[in-house]
Structure 1
Amino acid sequence: MPAFDRDELDEMVNRWLEANRRCEEAGDWRPLAELYTEDATYGWNVGPSQDFMAVGRDEIRDLALGSEMGGLDGWSYPYQSIVVDERNGEVVGFWKQIADARRPDGSAYEVAGIGGSWFRYGGGFRWSWQRDWFDLGNVTALFVEMMKAGVLSDGMKRRLDRAASGRPIPGYYRRGETPVPIW
């Protein structure tokens, strides 16, 4: 694997963070797709028996950043720390997941635990792949808490209904059957 210029990787991270800020403000994550190579992949684990994988910029735009981020408009994902490895062209970012809804005491609904993204740089200020991790148990607990409080967005309700329908959801695969490996 080739080494990459540290300044170029730092600039990529800055571009990524700025694009994230714009998408958070707009409530639309799909423009981030332009920061991936045409053949990039983006995936994550969804528990002991399921993974998600988007293959190619179009699936990343439509599935990972479109339908999967649907209902999360208004949420923010502030990065807490970023580690850059210019030798391998990899970046790891640790982020929080914070809803725009507030508890009665004024505190934000926030997913407990650590979330993050692992990126491989593809050159030309684009990622060639991304893998995310988050604590599904904590995500589920927060959604249940928000549901009980009546503060889930309509988009999130639709997303949960889709997941509970039993119908196949594009991008979801049985564990180990993704078109490209998670690892």
Structure 2
Amino acid sequence: MADKRVASITPPNKAYPREELEEMVQRWLQANIDAEKAGDWTSHLGPMYTEDAVYGWNIGPNEEFVANGRKEICDLALGYQMHGFEEWEYPYHDIIIDEKRGTVIGFWKQVAPYKREDGSHYEIAGIGGSWFEYAGNFQWAWQRDFFDLGNAKDCFFQLAGAGALDKVVKEKIHLQAKGDLLPGHRRLREEPSKIQKVRNTLAMVKIAVTGR
């Protein structure tokens, strides 16, 4: 079961000076730039979370990633999860600050270092971003990422076809294909039975063929 602090976040209600939040955002953006240049997110971003911070994101209808505490965030979210993506870039293109509630929403892109024949970079289409709660002292209390899972899968299919997936990423995909949960991942509920999965598939095929 996913940690309820991530699966069901209650918007905070603690005000902070606008200038302080703006400075936090600038520090965060610079730390991200430095992390991308170094290929090391743990050293640059880890100190910007509280000791008991929570970081998570959804991975489809029945799976969540959750890292509880700064150590797990460093080991899993900024460490293991980023292995194989050291050369990717995640530029922010818009930031929304709510100083009355102490929250920030940042919208970013996920851009691969690999290029298509036309010279354009592979990137995950759709909306991607992070929702943060500020805890004071220039640290986040929690972070919740969101992205377009369908477009993410499509991008990885394209990269696989182009032979551009990192070896570590291939290993992660292999584990997931076997039904294994990667570190930090957890089911939200019990998986449906094979019979139920077949019934669901047949029902969808019928709708697609007959419209009923």
Q: Same fold (TM over 0.5)?
A: yes
| Alpha-carbon distance in structure 1 between the residues aligned to 2:34 and 2:172 | 23
Aligned partner of residue 163 in structure 1, secondary structure: helix
1:94-144 superposed Cα distances (whole Å, 9 cap, x missing partner): 001000011111100010101000000011000000000001110000001
- 1:66 is the counterpart of 2:87: no
Tell me which residue corresponds to 1:26. 38
1:17-37 superposed Cα distances (whole Å, 9 cap, x missing partner): 000001101112112111000
Uncovered stretches (5+) of structure 2, i.e. residues with no partner: 1-12, 191-212
Uncovered stretches (5+) of structure 1, i.e. residues with no partner: 178-183
- 1:84 is the counterpart of 2:104: no
Tell me which residue corresponds to 1:148. 161
Tell me which residue corresponds to 1:134. 147
Letter of the structure 2 residue corresponding to residue 40 of structure 1: A
Q: How many residues align?
A: 177
Among 3, 12, 16, the alignment partner of 1:4 is: 16
| Alpha-carbon distance in structure 1 between the residues aligned to 2:170 and 2:117 | 21
- 1:102 is the counterpart of 2:107: no
| Alpha-carbon distance in structure 2 between the residues aligned to 1:167 and 1:95 | 29
Report if the CA contact (8 A) 2:175-2:181 is conserved: no
Among 68, 84, 93, the alignment partner of 2:106 is: 93
Deviation at 1:176, TM superposition (A): 6.4
| Alpha-carbon distance in structure 1 between the residues aligned to 2:80 and 2:189 | 22
Aligned partner of residue 130 in structure 2, secondary structure: strand
Aligned partner of residue 77 in structure 1, secondary structure: coil
Report if the CA contact (8 A) 2:64-2:186 is conserved: yes
With a CA cutoff of 8 Å and minimum separation of 6, indicate the structure with the bigger relative contact order: 1
TM-score, normalised relative to structure 2: 0.80
Between 66-75 and 165-174, the greater mean CA deviation after superposition: 165-174
Report if the CA contact (8 A) 1:12-1:125 is conserved: yes
| Alpha-carbon distance in structure 2 between the residues aligned to 1:56 and 1:164 | 28
State the 4+ residue runs in structure 1 displaced beyond 4 angstroms. none
TM-score, normalised relative to structure 1: 0.93
